[in-house]
Chain A
Amino acid sequence: MTTAAQVQTGSLGLTSIYLPALAEITRTEQLTKMEKLFEIRLKNGQELGHQPGQFVEVSLFGIGEAPISVSSSPTKKGSFELAVRSVGNVTKALHQMNPGAPLGIRGPFGKGFPVEEIKGKDILFVAGGIGLVPLRSLINYVLDKRSDFGRVIVFFGAKTPAEQLFLDELAKWRTSKEMEYLETVDRSEGSWKGNVGVITTLFPKVTLDPKKTVAVIVGPPIMYRFAILEAQVKGIPDDQIIVSLERRMKCGVGKCGHCQINDIYVCQEGPVFNYARIKNLKEAI
């Protein structure tokens, strides 16, 4: 299974799947010490046209490309948002850039969250650290189309209170009547009065109807094994567990080979997977 990428054409009429569309940063916001939010607009005035869970290749000319999940919901029009941790060559350079700065965007790529399939279901979101970045695109999508879904439960775990991101949204979620929001930190700091413990400690705090619940789990590689196990303990069947997997995605179009899990190109068939599809693949989780 492959997805067709948007192909850009240069000013000389030549097309290439590797040619980014020119874009500019319209707003930035420091989220934590390490993470910064970038609001981006395509120069051709078009919408990105993404599904929640898809990613783009961010292009800084002279530095390179990096695959970044789109963090905004497609219901947000005119621009889209990327929340980026400063960790590699491209992302470190991106963090130095200000509104008005030019960059390139390829994509959206990959398969996003199955928004149609999960309609009418109760949704349990499990976000570990910056796993909240891709999940936020779906959480906000679900909240914008609230009546299409059953219960909305969000678990968010961060290492420390200082590493929580999207603080304004978290504040709204804490008091929202439309969702149940539970959070924890691995290590308490400062004035934190909430839960302390890894994200799996939140599971016993809720009662679910496993038949009608879909668990959407995104976090660091180490988190999956434990969070999936907890979802299973709750009785959620494997084919109602959805994950989004991080891999090295150099080309985004199913060619360069870096993102493969066995025979699967994550940039094409993923990054979002139904757990039942990948649970027996040796390298997946």
Chain B
Amino acid sequence: MTFRTIQKKDLPPFIDHLIQTMEVVGVREKVEGKYEFAPLESSSQLCLDYDVTLLSPKKYILPSRETLLRFKTGEKVSCEPVLESRPRAIVGIHPYDLKGIAQLDRIFADANQDEHYRRKRQETLLIGVDIKRASSYAFCKSMNSAVVQQGFDLFLTDIGPSYVVAIGTKKGEDLLGQYATSKPSAQGEIAKRAEIQEKIPYFFSLNSVTTPYSELPKLLADHGESKLYEELAEKCFSCGSCNLVCPTCYCFDVQDDMALNLSEGERVRLWDGCLLDGFARVASGENFREDRAERIRHRIFRKGKYIYEKYGEHGCVGCGRCASACLPDIANPVEIFNRLKEGK
């Protein structure tokens, strides 16, 4: 990997140049202490020192509501795909969210490539940044997501007076060359970057999964019949918040939306969640995951077993958003994994 150093004073002009050429989404403080990914009008709105955002940047690649098709009904029926995308940079993505996006890339580009996703993704530039402070629910060390060396176009590490920029792709390198004042990083700067990154996992020492990463599938399999899921189900509202805030949840519903003229309409996909009551219900009324405990178990197995067995990486990236979004406070994977291990 190659590195270039950009002085701190030169970062805002770089972002402002980007804003003039494409949509730039960055981390902004929404209300005090709460952050979100939102379009930037100016570099001054960008915040690179944050704990976690309310939603992951997934929403720009797999939007919560996305038109897949437009159709006309009546005499002459027709139907066309809608493939909407535009050049966009997302700035300030933490490593766990980069991992989340890399996982979506795999799922949507697997057999049966999803062109709607692919086009948006192709036009999206990912600019990551190292974690400076941990959110109280995050457990990135346990999920190998505190630091990443891939899955970005550019990645910034604050080394004091400047940022060391890791170059992930040619596209990122070209953009940096075109719009930023930077120079090749000195050996000392690269060493400083490594030193900083080495410490980041330890921000999460107080919130750790007691089972090693690669042994989670076995832990879940061994405790598939645990009473814990029923205990959690007694408090669960089946609201699906844990699904909706998750950077790796990708399940969706598809609905038709008719225009008021009743002669044209669109088919849209909407985020869906496996915790919601009707998720597996078919038209006859049969619900294949009717029991709330089964739905909780399904989510936990997806996060700690199924995805790992398919792709070699866990579906959970340790951001802790589900834990903070859950009203009855039962969604925290750390607590679930650790209680399963303790057998209680």
Report A's interface with B, CB cutoff 8 A.
Answer: 2-5, 10-12, 14-20, 22, 59, 61-66, 85, 87-91, 102, 104, 220-221, 246-248, 250-251, 253-263, 282-283
Q: Given A61-B256, A64-B254, A248-B288, A88 and B283 touching (CB < 8 A)?
A: yes
Please state if B107 and A64 are interface contacts (CB–CB under 8 Å): no
Choose one: A3, A20, A90; the contact of B79 (CB below 8 Å): A20
Residue of B nearest to A67 (CB): B282
Please state if B111 and A2 are interface contacts (CB–CB under 8 Å): yes
Please state if A256 and B254 are interface contacts (CB–CB under 8 Å): yes
Instruction: Give the secondary structure class of B's interface.
Output: mixed
Choose one: B68, B112, B116; the contact of A4 (CB below 8 Å): B112
Choose one: B77, B81, B269; the contact of A15 (CB below 8 Å): B81
Give the total of B residues in contact with A, Cβ under 8 Å. Answer: 52
Please state if A16 and B116 are interface contacts (CB–CB under 8 Å): yes
Please state if B306 and A17 are interface contacts (CB–CB under 8 Å): no
Choose one: A17, A65, A88, A251; the contact of B113 (CB below 8 Å): A17
Please state if B279 and A258 are interface contacts (CB–CB under 8 Å): yes
Q: Within 8 Å CB of B83, what residues of A?
A: 14, 16
Please state if B81 and A10 are interface contacts (CB–CB under 8 Å): yes
Please state if B253 and A256 are interface contacts (CB–CB under 8 Å): yes
Please state if A258 and B306 are interface contacts (CB–CB under 8 Å): no
Given contacts A17-B112, A255-B114, 13 further A-B contacts (CB under 8 A): A11-B78, A14-B83, A16-B81, A16-B116, A18-B81, A61-B256, A246-B282, A246-B286, A248-B281, A254-B110, A256-B254, A256-B272, A258-B280
In this complex, which of B108, B253, B283 has the most chain A Cβ atoms within 10 angstroms of its Cβ?
Answer: B283
Please state if B112 and A257 are interface contacts (CB–CB under 8 Å): no
Please state if B305 and A263 are interface contacts (CB–CB under 8 Å): yes
Q: Given A19-B79, A282-B224, A263 and B306 touching (CB < 8 A)?
A: yes
Q: Within 8 Å CB of B301, what residues of A?
A: 262-263
B196 at the interface (CB under 8 A from A): no
Please state if B73 and A61 are interface contacts (CB–CB under 8 Å): yes
Chain A nearest Cβ from B100, distance in angstroms: 16
Residue of B nearest to A5 (CB): B112
Chain A nearest Cβ from B137, distance in angstroms: 24
Please state if A250 and B253 are interface contacts (CB–CB under 8 Å): yes
Q: Within 8 Å CB of A91, what residues of B?
A: 283
Instruction: Give the secondary structure class of A's interface.
Output: loop
In the bound complex, CA of A88 to CA of B286 (Å): 12
In the bound complex, CA of A5 to CA of B219 (Å): 35
Q: Given A11-B78, A16-B115, A263 and B254 touching (CB < 8 A)?
A: no
In the bound complex, CA of A64 to CA of B268 (Å): 10
Please state if B77 and A283 are interface contacts (CB–CB under 8 Å): no
Please state if A247 and B282 are interface contacts (CB–CB under 8 Å): yes
Choose one: A16, A220, A248, A257; the contact of B68 (CB below 8 Å): A16
Chain A nearest Cβ from B16, distance in angstroms: 34
Please state if A258 and B272 are interface contacts (CB–CB under 8 Å): yes
Chain B nearest Cβ from A281, distance in angstroms: 10
Chain A nearest Cβ from B141, distance in angstroms: 26
Contact digits for B284-298, partner A, Cβ 8 Å, 1 yes 0 no: 101011000010001
In the bound complex, CA of A22 to CA of B72 (Å): 12
12 example contacts (A-B, Cβ-Cβ < 8 A) are as follows A2-B111, A2-B112, A18-B81, A61-B72, A61-B256, A89-B283, A221-B286, A246-B286, A261-B288, A262-B301, A263-B309, A283-B289
Residue of B nearest to A109 (CB): B112
Please state if A283 and B79 are interface contacts (CB–CB under 8 Å): no
B267 at the interface (CB under 8 A from A): yes
Q: Within 8 Å CB of A20, what residues of B?
A: 79
Please state if A250 and B250 are interface contacts (CB–CB under 8 Å): no
Q: Within 8 Å CB of A64, what residues of B?
A: 254-256, 267
The 10 closest A-B pairs by CB, nearest first: A88-B283, A257-B251, A16-B81, A263-B306, A2-B111, A253-B112, A10-B80, A102-B77, A61-B71, A14-B81
B252 at the interface (CB under 8 A from A): yes
In the bound complex, CA of A168 to CA of B282 (Å): 30
Please state if B294 and A283 are interface contacts (CB–CB under 8 Å): yes
Residue of B nearest to A257 (CB): B251
Q: Given A4-B111, A87-B284, A257 and B309 touching (CB < 8 A)?
A: no
Q: Given A19-B79, A255-B112, A256-B251, A62 and B306 touching (CB < 8 A)?
A: no
In the bound complex, CA of A169 to CA of B152 (Å): 61
Q: Given A18-B267, A262-B301, A62 and B110 touching (CB < 8 A)?
A: no
